[in-house]
Amino acid sequence: MFSVYSWVLLFQIHISQHSGRLFPDPSGDGGKWLDAHYDPVAGLYTFSSCVDLADLSGDGESRLVAGDLGCGASAMKLKVYRGTALMSESALLDLPSGLVAFFMDLHQPRIPAVAVASGPCIYVYKNLRPYFKFTLPGLEVNALEQDVWQQVREGQIDQLTLKEMLEGIRRKADVPLSVRSLHFLSLETNEMDQFIQLHKQQPIRRQTVITVIGTLKKSTADEDGVSCLVIGTESCDVYVLDPEAFIILSKMSLPSVPTLMDVTGQFDVEFRITVACRNGNIYILRRESDKPKYCIELSSHPVGLVRVAKNVVVGCTDESLQGFTQKGKKLWRTLVPAPITTMASMDLPTRGFQAVLVGLANCEVHLYRDKNLLSSIKTPDAVTSVCFGRYGREDGALIMTTRGGGLMVKILKRTATFDERDSAPGPPPAQSVRLNVPKKTKLYVDQTLRERENGTAMHRAFQMDLSRMRLAAAKAYVKALESSMAPVSSSAAEPLKVNAVVQGLGPSFKLTLNIQNTAAARPVLNLAVSFLYDEKLYRVRTPYLRVPLLVPGLVYPLQTFVECTSDKGVSDIIKVFVLREGRSAPLLTAHINMPVSEGLPLA
């Protein structure tokens, strides 16, 4: 009773905590964030992989660099924001697939460069001016395809033959066709000739495109240490590029196309590249090997990948968040309330705080530490990119862009703290309060010790006693059987069963004995029934009954009347014996508990 009551009480407390937080706080973040800036029409359309924060002017004030993918009429741009204002923008030639700020040299003042990956190229900007363009090496071209185009150039085949041959190559070749041939195959017949004339003189090239980009410190872990660029490509390769010479330092291959990547460590010492791939697996690459060292097979596709200290947190399309060790061992899994749009890490080293920000399609951003929800922020629109770090002069800035192109900056309050069980659904906090369990007494400890030391002996003693008890029980049973004290006789000669029914309120009772021969075929003869009772209390009308021949299986009711002679309201047992003529030991015995007589004896 008490426990139910206290549970109800706890439940109420739990509820009121929730509602108490809901009303005075419209943004739903528990008053942990300051709204520094929101421009719903900033026209910035981007993803988490295309935003970064960096002190691009070396004045201690961090800027936001973003690769804007554009939308409809607005074109792709590289944008830089300072505080609440757009500081500069420049056109991008192609859709950006990733953007990172990194230190490419040791020059003073320490100003980072910006690398934008788009198509097969990396565009490097220094002081926000184009500085260098790196293009990935071309891929092997199909020899047959090359032959066919050679023939076209020599005028040996016409456009329809070309189309047929290319289709043949596409169907069975292990080296895929170049973009040019694929484009040709998609054309209408009337456009083909013009296309051939335009392109036939140029050599065929096959290019891959960059899908992900990251940075890897070269040899020091310093914040402003020189970093290598790490890129993943559509051709399932991962390259590490030297930051100064832009040569390929290392090439690793994956079983599938990388879509998300996290890099940690130093190239010259030890590093770890965690890549989520299009086949739904996560691979972990290490310095020593050009093949993945570990593989995590996910049950659904990854949409976000964040490293927290040594663990990896992955968001999947099945609305789940999962934690893994750096060796791929699964630690936990938790569900989120809506599809995940993007993820980012929230790392605040000055406060020793690390967590994961998860943008959701239901216009919320949730903050998780491991599987625990710490806090949630409501946003006016679903976010497509989230980035946490130093912006301006503020270390705890959260920058989000929305699906509609809005830009939002929130600043973590200096006094904000995150409580693990803050708003996480689940058991109320009181449940984890330690109970005041009394201390172990000396007696308890002594007993435990004794039990631990003499376990075998105690077990043996117990088994011995158990056997003795079983023996005693068996002996008693045998004795009962031998003296026919039970209402069932199992002797081979006369297998009998008897039960008695008493009817009436008293002082006159009717006693019916149902006797049954349980033998398979043999009838039983020469039986009699007699009663043993207290003659001061009862009088039995026929104290001796002869039993007729008992046919096996049939129930024979034998009836007699019992008169209670006492008016004291007492009752006693009447014993019924089934006897064999000429033998004094009964075949079986039944005890009848007589009811108390409720009537008065006739005067």
Residue of 17, 74, 84, 127 interacting with other proteins (CB under 8 A): 84
What is the distance between the alpha carbons of residues 130 and 111, in angstroms, rounded to a whole number?
15
* C-alpha distances out from residue 532 to 479, 501, 509, 555, 557, Å: 21, 16, 16, 23, 19
Per CB under 8 A, the segment of 8-16, 31-39, 178-186, 293-301 that binds other proteins is 31-39
In the complex with other proteins, which residue's Cβ is closer, 35 or 290? Answer: 35
Residue of 85, 91, 437, 600 interacting with other proteins (CB under 8 A): 85
Amino acid at 578: V
In the complex with other proteins, which residue's Cβ is closer, 34 or 532? Answer: 34
Residue 8 pairs with which residues in a beta bridge? none
Residues in 512-571 that interact with other proteins by CB under 8 A:
none
Per CB under 8 A, the segment of 5-13, 201-209, 412-420, 530-538 that binds other proteins is 412-420
Q: How many residues bind other proteins (CB under 8 A)?
A: 19
Tell whether residue 413 is a contact of other proteins (CB under 8 A). Answer: yes
Q: How far is the CB of 185 from other proteins (least distance, A)?
A: 52
In the complex with other proteins, which residue's Cβ is closer, 145 or 394? Answer: 394
What is the distance between the alpha carbons of residues 435 and 130, in angstroms, rounded to a whole number?
66
Residue 376 pairs with which residues in a beta bridge? 366
Tell whether residue 415 is a contact of other proteins (CB under 8 A). Answer: yes
Residue of 11, 12, 35, 536 interacting with other proteins (CB under 8 A): 35
Q: Residue 190: how many CB atoms within 10 A of its CB?
A: 7
∠ CA 116-120-121, nearest 5°, is 40
Amino acid at 543: P
Residue of 133, 291, 330, 414 interacting with other proteins (CB under 8 A): 414
Residue 272 pairs with which residues in a beta bridge? 264, 286
Per CB under 8 A, the segment of 34-42, 323-331, 362-370, 537-545 that binds other proteins is 34-42
Q: How far is the CB of 36 from other proteins (least distance, A)?
A: 5
In the complex with other proteins, which residue's Cβ is closer, 38 or 131? Answer: 38
Across 349-393, the runs of DSSP E, i.e. the strands, are 353-360, 364-369, 372-378, 383-391
* Among the listed residues 242, 250, 259, the one whose alpha carbon sits nearest the alpha carbon of residue 98: 259
What is the distance between the alpha carbons of residues 483 and 383, in angstroms, rounded to a whole number?
90
Residues in 377-406 that interact with other proteins by CB under 8 A:
391-395
What is the per-residue DSSP string for 535-561?
A: TTTEEES-SEEEE--B-BT-EEEEEEE
In the complex with other proteins, which residue's Cβ is closer, 51 or 238? Answer: 51
Q: How far is the CB of 389 from other proteins (least distance, A)?
A: 14
Residues in 36-75 that interact with other proteins by CB under 8 A:
36-37, 60
Tell whether residue 432 is a contact of other proteins (CB under 8 A). Answer: no
What is the distance between the alpha carbons of residues 366 and 563, in angstroms, rounded to a whole number?
87
- Which residues of this chain interact with other proteins, rule CB under 8 A? 34-37, 60, 83-85, 350, 391-395, 409, 411, 413-415
